[in-house]
Structure 1
Amino acid sequence: MSTRQFLFPLVATTVLYGLWKVYRIAYRGLTSSIRNIPGLSTRNVFIGNLKELIFTDQAAAHEQYVKEYGNTFKFKALLWNDWLFTADVKAISHILKKDTHQWQKPMALGYSLQRILGPGVLLVDSDVHRKQRKILNPAFAPAEVKLFTETFLDKATKLRDIWTSQVQQNQGETRIEVLSWLSRAALDVIGETGFGYKFDALAEEPNRTSELHEAFKVMFRVGTNPSLIRLLRGLVSVMRYLPADRDLETEKAKKTMDRISKQLLAERKLALDPQRPDKTAIEGNDILSLLVRANASGAINQRLSDEHVLAQIPTFIIAGHETTSTGTAWVLFALAQDKAIQARLREELLSVPTENPTMDELNALSYLDAVVREAMRLHSPLPATARYPVEDDVLPLETPIIDKSGKVHHELRVDKEVTVLISIAMVNRLESIWGKDAKEFNPDRWSSLPEAAMSIPGVWGNTLSFLGGPRACIGYRFALIEMKALLFILIRAFEFELAVPVQDIIKRAEIVTRPILRTDPTGANQLPMLVRPVACY
């Protein structure tokens, strides 16, 4: 067969496929149930408004568009598809109650993440999600988290001692990039509590770091200009063949993560096996041990495969490592801008007569609780999520929509598979809920919670920071106690001040929202602070 004879049917097939896709998009746009809803316009046929709504400081961008279009509006996504944006609490509550079954996550958006993590609890739906969740739930119960508190405090104390040494070497004050150090501490925590494994990320030697820690730094680094290809790969299959920045680094890092994960699982199985050569099974209390035990004791048709168990390991690290370290960093960011609030919190923490409080004692610190709640409200590590209905559905609306023809809608019909972007950041900042000072860091608001906040369908804190419904964050108790332990130790020992102008710190999201510097666009995720010892400590 000649080259011409070979190429002609290939080109013809490609053209026909492209025309068919254009027809489907055009037909869907003309018949869409949300076609008359006001919203953003764009000339970018390829990625629509995704850049404005996702690859930005999402809290600021969402606030801008909500002011212009209201809590629910339409916007253009890939190849001119209509998506829906909402910060309407009633609509979100409806979606989250039906989550995993009637409404599901658009897994195409998580394609790049799924290639790294595998089918873990964050990235599966329906019966698979319920099965994984049922086996995992006992490992994150309050009684188990209580046992981990000592480890949280131990790692926080080790971090304090490292920073103390750095401060002393600089005669009383030094610049510290706190995000990377918090990330190291959180990795050590999840290593020991999650897998009974010592990563030694807080190693005494300055140049010694865990290879797994280095792998995750490579895979989840964000910058001022994140790659659109990573998003588009999930939405357009042909894009998966296009190279993106850091592909080779990411693949190498993934191999490291897979190797260590298999090693950890093999060790846990051997430790818990009553038939092991020395005849002595070890009762591990780490999360992976609890998972392996629960999985082995369940009915055969309810057990997870090794693939699904292995997928939980990087999932735990992401959920328990990234969320906690960035969440704690944003708390310090807020405290560094208000010395009075920082001093008031320190006064409460120094009133505790022990350096090793229990989980119950940490939870009893009312101002610490208020500070964490307020920081998680204002600087939620997860800014948004997305869902789509598996069948046509009707969204009830708290705030009615006036369509382009002037008709008022108190509910909105949403066609099957229309993606809805749920703005966590915006719900946490709505003036209609939180008042005129919604954008201000004010822990005192938690002493008299606005009645409207009671309607937010979150699993914790009358916010959406840990989501709600069947997909609510399974480890939120773990994350909160770890954050409180870190803050308890660090705020008692140090005063914090931003080392750069606040305007230089901007937010970018890839899985979670991290700080980067506007003046260092090619630099790593970072939050530089001036750290000095507390005089009375």
Structure 2
Amino acid sequence: MFCARKSVIVSEGAKHRGQRSIMSPAFGSSQIRDLMHIFVQKSAETQRIDRQLQLRNIWADEVSKSDGCARINAMDGLQKLTLDVISLAGFGLDLKALNNNGEPNEIDEAFCEIFSAVPPVKLYRVMMDWLPFLDFFPDERTKKIRHARSVIRRIGTDLIREKKAAIQRELDIGDGALGKEDLPGKDLLTLLIKANMATNLTKNQRLTDEEVLSQIPTFLVAGHESTTITTAWCLFALTQNPRIQQKLREELLSLQTDSPTMDELASLPYLDRVVRETLRLYTPVVFTLRAAAEDDVIPLSEPVIDRNGKAQHEIRIAAGNRVIVSILEPHHSKAIWGDDALEFRPERWDNLPEEAARMPGIWGNVLAFAAGAHSCIGYRFAIAEIKAVLFTLVREFVFELGVAPEDVTAVGMLTQRPALKSELEVGPQLPLLVRPYVHPVSS
């Protein structure tokens, strides 16, 4: 619905390979390292002048106003945090979504319209995918999304024009030559445009402005929505497992810095296990769609019984058939992960079952970032951001759930956001009781 049809997420074949080739340098390890200061800055800025913009300090203020324990909707703060991060790291814009001064921001409002309250899928919206003429009779939700997309498209077009002009000015000052490897540490959109303007590319290898524009929603989905959901579910899991929360906190406090580098975060093994376990148990995107390019026969690892009672050992599909590939099911399979598959247990990553070790994901033996040619190109960005936010928040606060655990549920079809069964009409939320962590006094 939100990802443009020419984006790397939905393109196929040679076009997809070409887009990934152009985009890959912007998402390499060295480029993500250069963005770490943004992840940390938006999680916790130590300069007093920026206090109102930073999530840690906002929550600390709430705690101090509430006699040491505040009831906070974690989803609200995390959504604003990740929006600030992706706008800065992705486009070089500081939306100041974490700023509480109430000033309107056009692009912020458009993002919030798309992401803040995604309702359950209705039959009419499903029918719109199959009956194109219904596009002429959109429902209210579709009208709002179309307006938000038009705002993002207009602003994105202006951004691309400005960044291309800035890069051209750099070329005019220099020797006029630009290689794909010549990528200074700037925002992802600038890096993408610079790679696309490389003089060693042929015309057929370059992305059109429309294709570059189509990547902006892709950045938003990966850098805003998925990271918000994953971090929120991780905090929920930590409230249900105080021992794990404290063990993680002790490891994070062992790093004597408030501004860790990407390599320093990667050196924390328990943090890595906690993130992997969160992505496994609370997969942010629960399925993916694929279309068959040709007739094929898919073998099954185990036979399934069809409606006629007959065992089927394979599935025949025809060219053009669309297939829903579940990500959640293999992540929760007891046959793969053992009898405790539905438990949050980071220690399982010390010694994975053989079946789990064969999981073909691009990162961490999980399918959260998919696998193969269509794996998530921005997975390093997402992991670094999630780890940086957890590093800052878990060191500072002790988290408890603000409602009964059985009241928490997941809402959404493609993505699974935390919400309350008793307040589904409110939309996604995660009420937490937040207290400052008191360091033990050494004797």
Task: Normalising by structure 2, report the TM-score.
Answer: 0.90
Shift of 1:382: 0.4
Question: Are 1:367 and 2:270 counterparts?
Answer: yes
1:55-104 Cα shifts (integer Å, max 9, x gaps) = xxxxxxxxxxxxxxxxxxxxxxxxxxxxxxxxxxxxxxxxxxxxxxxxxx
Aligned-partner SS, 1:410: strand
CA distance in 1, matches of 2:109, 2:432: 22
Deviates more, 1:299-308 or 1:222-231: 222-231
Question: Number of residues paired by the alignment?
Answer: 423
Shift of 1:283: 5.4
Shift of 1:431: 0.3
Task: Specify which of 366, 380, 388 is matched with residue 291 of structure 2.
Answer: 388
Are 1:222 and 1:509, in contact at CA under 8 Å, matched by a contact in 2?
no
Are 1:140 and 1:477, in contact at CA under 8 Å, matched by a contact in 2?
yes
Task: Specify which of 376, 379, 392 is matched with residue 489 of structure 1.
Answer: 392
CA distance in 1, matches of 2:267, 2:184: 31
Question: Are 1:518 and 2:407 counterparts?
Answer: no
CA distance in 1, matches of 2:412, 2:184: 39
Are 1:121 and 1:315, in contact at CA under 8 Å, matched by a contact in 2?
yes
Question: Are 1:226 and 2:115 counterparts?
Answer: no
1:35 is matched with which residue? none
Q: 1:418 to 1:258 in 2, by over 3 A?
A: closer
Structure number with larger C-alpha Rg: 1
Give the share of equivalent positions with the same residue, in percent.
42
Shift of 1:507: 1.2
CA distance in 2, matches of 1:277, 1:406: 71
CA distance in 2, matches of 1:133, 1:408: 40
1:78 is matched with which residue? none
Shift of 1:413: 2.3
Which amino acid is 2:195 matched to?
A: A
2:51 is matched with which residue? none
Which amino acid is 1:126 matched to?
A: G
Question: Are 1:127 and 2:14 counterparts?
Answer: yes
Task: Normalising by structure 1, report the TM-score.
Answer: 0.75
Question: Are 1:462 and 2:351 counterparts?
Answer: no
5+ residue gaps, structure 2 = 45-53, 177-182
Question: Are 1:251 and 2:146 counterparts?
Answer: yes
Aligned-partner SS, 1:516: strand
Aligned-partner SS, 1:256: helix
Q: 1:280 to 1:333 in 2, by over 3 A?
A: farther
Q: 1:370 to 1:209 in 2, by over 3 A?
A: farther
Which amino acid is 1:229 matched to?
A: Y
1:174 is matched with which residue? 70
1:65 is matched with which residue? none
Shift of 1:432: 0.3
Superposition RMSD in Å: 2.2
1:136 is matched with which residue? 23
CA distance in 2, matches of 1:263, 1:313: 12
Task: Specify which of 86, 103, 108 is matched with residue 213 of structure 1.
Answer: 108
Runs of 4+ more than 6 Å apart: 275-282
Shift of 1:517: 2.0
The 5-angstrom pairing of residues 366-515 of structure 1 reads: 366-403=269-306, 408-515=311-418
Are 1:155 and 1:188, in contact at CA under 8 Å, matched by a contact in 2?
yes
Which amino acid is 2:169 matched to?
A: P
Aligned-partner SS, 1:346: helix
Shift of 1:135: 0.4
Shift of 1:524: 3.0
1:262 is matched with which residue? 157
Shift of 1:275: 7.1
5+ residue gaps, structure 1 = 1-111
Aligned-partner SS, 2:424: coil
CA distance in 1, matches of 2:240, 2:424: 23
Are 1:159 and 1:202, in contact at CA under 8 Å, matched by a contact in 2?
yes
1:19 is matched with which residue? none
